[in-house]
Structure 1
Amino acid sequence: MPRFHCPVPLAAGAELELPSAAARHVQVLRHQPGDAITLFNGDGGQWQATVLRMGRSDVAVRVDAFEAVEREPQRPVHLAVGMPANERMDWLVEKAAELGVASLQPLHTAHSVLRLNGERAQKKRDHWQSVAVAACEQCGGNRVPAVLPVGDLASWLREAADGAALRCVLSLAEGSRPLGEVLREAPADRPVLFLSGPEGGLSPQEDAAARSAGFLPVTLGPRVLRAETAALAALVQALA
């Protein structure tokens, strides 16, 4: 059944107009009054609903039964990434959302090609959030990962130094441990926070700063992976 993100309070029996993005999606799919659809608002679970009216630019629905469906992983995994360039960040956001990432933190780092500030940074963040929403609509996820404001690595590390999460930095430096080994030693429900670099990885100074902030250096093996591949490979291991 078609699924649509509807970030408003939902209750059985309520009749409402869908937010503009969801309404456009319903119209593009050419739904008609009487059609059954699924809505989710990100609070968990999903709602069955019925299309009541199709306007030129609006869609009215009736919210029917709630389904307590959860498809989220047991372990919350958060991902902070030095932004890869071009469409690779879009691809990374989409696939991370499909896999079940809890949040995404885009970062400027020394080797970052993509540089975003001000209004352009906000537009990119909004775009990536919409990519995450679309991925959840497609894959069945009922909790949309938050794409956080674009940040600077040094400032972000100061804020990330505290917290209960298992903090790991993907590193090729000497002394890095296999990620699988580190994960096996941690409780299965302990949150994980990954830091991954852009093309070219983190600089030696950034790697050292992450370690000083309490991040454990981990490796995915002897191969050198692309920035977006490495982040997703770490995510898959943590969610397995």
Structure 2
Amino acid sequence: MTDISVPLILAIGATFFAAGAVKGVTGMGLPTVAMGILGALISPLAAASLLILPSFVTNVWQLLGGPSFWSIAFRLWPMMLANFVGTMLGAGWLAGGDTGTATVVLGVALMIYAGYTLLARQLSVPAKIEPMLSPMVGAVTGIISGATGVFVIPAVPYLQALGLSRNDLVQALGLSFTVSTVALAVALGSRGAFALDTLGLSLLALGPAWLGMWAGQKLRNRISPTTFKRVFLLFLLLLGAEMVLRPVT
């Protein structure tokens, strides 16, 4: 990403503020919003590079914010290991420079996530199949994460289906997102996909992301989380559709 202008920097700051606000209200969504909006301004590869530091810092904070880290990590380590490996493999697609295909895949991922969350009923995973299912879900999540920079499918609906308490679910999501972020950073770095200007902008994006999270946490007590989530998901659905149709317009 070589053409850095003041309007682009302002747009990046506004994007991470909005993404942080969504995470502050819902507990997730920072990479999803950031990749969705930035994908309309810059290449998916550059967008994925920008979200590394804000995603890592905010997710580690979320991961360490509860008392059940070790029990959750012990339960979910097969999923996390498969997630890491899958992300490393999927990142080859993102780093390969096929921006048109990556944009379409990102749009499809956003539409699937938004549509599923809006329409699907809550699933439940029987305990007897969790040891077999967790690595499969982790691998698929990793491949999609590596290819698109979006960490939510199918990890989020799967973790929601495990019957975790609210606090444990927030920590489990933080663990999954942190693993995906670290794996994506390692994968892109090993392929020489990071540039100094991108890392600098990623560091600067921490400020708006943290400010957005703070604003979102304040906003959480003043609006209906259900209403906010529906508006957010409809926005992602439309944004995903626009990204899918972009190559033919």
Check whether TM > 0.5.
no
Greater fraction helix:
2
Greater fraction strand:
1
Higher relative contact order (CA 8 A, sep 6+): 2
CA radius of gyration, larger in: 1
